[in-house]
Amino acid sequence: MTTTYAAPAATTGAALAATPASTAPSATAPLRIGRHTLASPVVLAPMAGITNRAFRRLCREHAPGALYVSEMITSRALVERNAETMRLIEHDPDEQPRSVQLYSVDPVTARAAARILVQEDRADHIDLNFGCPVPKVTRKGGGSALPWKRDLFRAIVAAVVAEGARADVPVTVKMRMGIDEEHLTYLDAGLAAEQEGAAAVALHARTAAQHYSGYAAWPAVATLKHTVTTIPVLGNGDIWSADDALRMVAQTGCDGVVVGRGCLGRPWLFADLDAAFAGRSQRATPTLDVVASTLRRHAAYLVEFFGDENRGCRDIRKHIAWYLKGFPAGGELRQQLALVDSLAALDRLLGRLDPDAPWPGADAEGQRGRAGTPKRVALPDGWLDSPELTDAQREQIAAAELDVSGG
């Protein structure tokens, strides 16, 4: 199927956010992804440097019935058994289903990586990354640039699905709308994924050119849902609260949601989502002492994950601003927390917070993480000339997995 698509209608996530939550159903059916039934139709989006085993554990404490996906793993690094990559695909003993996201630009390497996960019983679910907009990925033809090359996209999906089928490990696809509004790929890619046996498709309703700027075009999720009819379609983009998730389902008819930046410094969002999709109205409004306790537990989990207190404490630094968003903490204390190098130092600094400070409401809500600005997508030379790969491009993208970090 080859079609030139017009840009989605001007309705945006911001406009849809004004829709009352009461338009959503009182309860939503469980989400089925292959053999897995999720009590909560919610998926944690893979985020590099964020969704490691420590953060997934923290989120699971709030809603064990959702699906929590690992950081993106490059297929090449997995095939070469890179030590860091092998650690990143580890799961807690009670983590079910065990979910790993693979990145690849080569069907042979993708198949070999999937074979390791399946034959060695390292995953119960595999997600394929075709949504990353980072220049070091797209300039080599990977991530959100890859679905433009239809045959390559289809071959990677088919190869991984075939390996997953050996042990009933379902494979899903996460993608963006396309490279830019003139080069939309999500409908062709969604149909191809469905035809090749993917168990679900997830759409981040932005183009690669948008990066994380502006608003997600939720109507594109509805269009994909009308196009892909035999497997679940999940919506992603601008879900900052449980009510946003309900509105997305009500407006688009999608089968579930993928949540990324909205949970940064707010793992209890998954409890809100679980309640919302079960038809319950309660929402978490933690006081500062509860937030500080959660932050401290996150730091301890990171220390355990890295096996190094200093490294774990360095990693928690990037989460500090997200946890404290909207709360009274003061610039000096925030700065000191951003330099913390031990759990003891973290305890001393957290002890200076006002434990009785109430949830700040709107000041703690809304967008988290960097939005950035629209930008021209870095692509291989001549990439947009044709949806078919040239021999030169085939050689060029073979180096893509080597240039993406070992994780």
Catalytic residue IDs: 132
Structure tokens at 237: 């983009």
**Using CA atoms, how far apart are residues 148 and 150, in angstroms rounded to an integer?**
6
Alpha-carbon torsion (231, 180, 42, 251), positive or negative: negative
Q: Which amino acid, residue 117?
A: L
Contact 265, 321 (CB under 8 A): yes
Residue in this structure with the two tokens 């073979």, named with its chain if needed: 398
- Alpha helices, H only, 338-378: 343-350
Query: Residue 249 has which token pair?
Result: 């389902």
Whether the Cβ atoms of residue 102 and residue 128 lie closer than 8 Å to each other: yes
Please return the burial class of 26, using the count of CB atoms within 10 Å of its CB with bins 0-12, 13-18 and 19+.
Answer: exposed
Q: List the structure tokens of 179.
A: 């490279």
Helix (H, G, I), strand (E, B) or coil at 79: helix
DSSP string, 273-342: HHHHHTT--------HHHHHHHHHHHHHHHHHHHT-HHHHHHHHGGGHHHHTTTS---HHHHHHHTT--S
